[in-house]
Structure 1
């Protein structure tokens, strides 16, 4: 929990992917996240949080469905999206905060 709080204090955008192992759409997002990470490189971080292992975090951020993505910068939640999202849209969203 403390590590997570420190991580989202970053001056660079941190995209958190709240997912579950059993979730089909979460699995479908894996190559999309890898593509976006490849395009953004060091300008932003992408972190995966398993909601079944980190229930406290899932509750704190009111995760009601997976996948849910929250973009943080300086500890602030800037954007939230639930469900599948295209790589172009995701990349453009993150780039607004770089």
Structure 2
């Protein structure tokens, strides 16, 4: 299974950010090593705010194979996040199998 990276951009003063981080923690606990979670305080990492072109917090960025595959700029609950991460993993695995079958033909 490919490793997903979920980046939780937040700010200490932001109440929706605290709710988002709690949902991220819940999902990370359920998915274990299938997802790497990084938490970024936007006040401390202006370089990443610029690099990811953030305009709001909370923002979640999901990367796979070093590329951004999804971006959420509003809070999502744990079930929504888990479903999204599972679907991204499933899509990636399906494409990989399709490629392997085509290459073998």
Normalised to the residue count of structure 2, the TM-score between the two structures is: 0.79
Structure 2 unaligned regions, length at least 5: 90-105
- Contact 2:8-2:58 at 8 Å conserved across structures: yes
**Per chain length, whose mean CA-contact separation is higher, i.e. which structure has more relative contact order (CA < 8 Å, sep 6+)?**
1
4+ residue runs of structure 1 moved beyond 2 angstroms? none
* RMSD (Å) for aligned C-alpha atoms: 1.1
How far is 1:97 from its partner? 2.7
Residue 27 in 1 paired to residue 21 in 2?
Answer: no
* Larger helix fraction of residues: 2
Aligned residues: 88
Structure 1 unaligned regions, length at least 5: 1-10
Q: Computing the radius of gyration over CA atoms, which structure comes out larger, 1 or 2?
A: 2
